[in-house]
Amino acid sequence: MISGATALSFVLVCLLGAMAPGPDFLVVTRSAILGGRKAGIAAGLGIALGVFVWVVAIALGVAAILTASAIAFTVVKLIGAAYLIFLGVKAWLAVRRGDYAELKDKVTPVVAPRAAFRHGLLTNLLNPKVAVFFLALLPQFLPHSATTAETLQLAGLATMVAVVWTFVLATLVGSLRRFFTAGRVRRAMDAVMGTLLVGLGIRVAVQS
């Protein structure tokens, strides 16, 4: 079993990584703005499931194969970059359509929790840098002769961190949704989010 001190250190490092602005952060924020707190939390749960899958894949050696193969890494990276660009273009198209009138009076969320969950999951799973992050991180917190159970224990902790952080983020953004649903604010947010998502997609695509 992983010691308490080691587990705490691992949780703190994972939290710092989760809080860093990136694709996951943008997806949760945009989902909470468009669909409210439930959609933001759903996106966070999708991301958390993605984190768990990646860490379990590392325990099984799958992620090691992915990162060792330049072709496999590049394919997953380009698919993930294309998905981020797709989400960004969708935001830009919303700006162009300009369908923001009376949005704050509508009861139906623009993004349903199920769709938000799917966005969060795919964004995380199609980001091979998550695998690289945990491949570099896990050996620092596992004993030399670590068992699969110990690796899965860290997977559970990483998933817990993702759930807690995205819950806090979604709740904060969701509580300000009335402000974000104002027409001018929504237009500006879609423009900014779209630009950031497309920029991240391009950055992911061109980075080695």
pLDDT, tens digit (0-9, with 9 covering 90-100), for 109-165: 577 899 999 999 999 988 877 877 887 777 778 776 667 788 788 888 999 999 999
> Does residue 15 carry a pLDDT above 80?
yes
11 is a domain residue: no
62 is a domain residue: yes
pLDDT band at 181 (very low <50, low <70, confident <90, very high): low
Q: Into how many domains does the chain fold?
A: 1
pLDDT at position 117: 95
pLDDT at position 208: 63
Mind giving me the DSSP string for 99-166? --TTGGG--S-SS-HHHHHHHHHHHHHT-HHHHHHHHHHHHHHS-TT--HHHHHHHHHHHHHHHHHHH
pLDDT at position 118: 93
> Which tokens hold the place of 74?
């590049």
pLDDT tens digits for range 26-61: 889 888 888 888 999 999 999 999 999 988 888 777
> What is the amino acid identity at position 18?
A
In angstroms, rounded to a whole number, what is the distance separating the alpha carbons of residues 36 and 131? Answer: 30
15 is a domain residue: no
> Does residue 201 carry a pLDDT above 60?
yes
- CA 62-64-66 angle, 5° bins: 75
Calculate mean pLDDT across residues 65-73.
Answer: 68
8 is a domain residue: no
For the CA atoms of 114, 119, 120, 121, what is the dihedral angle to 10 degrees?
Answer: 90
Burial of 195 (0-12, 13-18, 19+ CB in 10 A): middle
Instruction: Single out the residue of 140, 137, 180, 181 nearest to residue 161, CA to CA.
Output: 137
Domain coverage including residue 133: 23-206
> Does residue 72 carry a pLDDT above 60?
yes
pLDDT at position 45: 95
Lowest mean pLDDT among 8-17, 100-109, 129-138: 100-109
128 is a domain residue: yes
> Does residue 85 carry a pLDDT above 70?
yes
pLDDT band at 102 (very low <50, low <70, confident <90, very high): very low
> Does residue 103 carry a pLDDT above 60?
no
DSSP helix, strand, coil percent of the chain (3-state; round to 5)? 85, 0, 15
Greatest Cα pair distance, the chain, in angstroms, is 60
Instruction: Single out the residue of 86, 89, 85, 103 nearest to residue 186, CA to CA.
Output: 103
6 is a domain residue: no
In angstroms, rounded to a whole number, what is the distance separating the alpha carbons of residues 126 and 132? Answer: 12
138 is a domain residue: yes
Q: In angstroms, how far is CA 94 from the centroid of its own chain?
A: 22
Question: What percent of the chain is modeled with pLDDT above 70?
Answer: 82
Cα Rg of the chain (Å, integer): 18
> Does residue 206 carry a pLDDT above 50?
yes
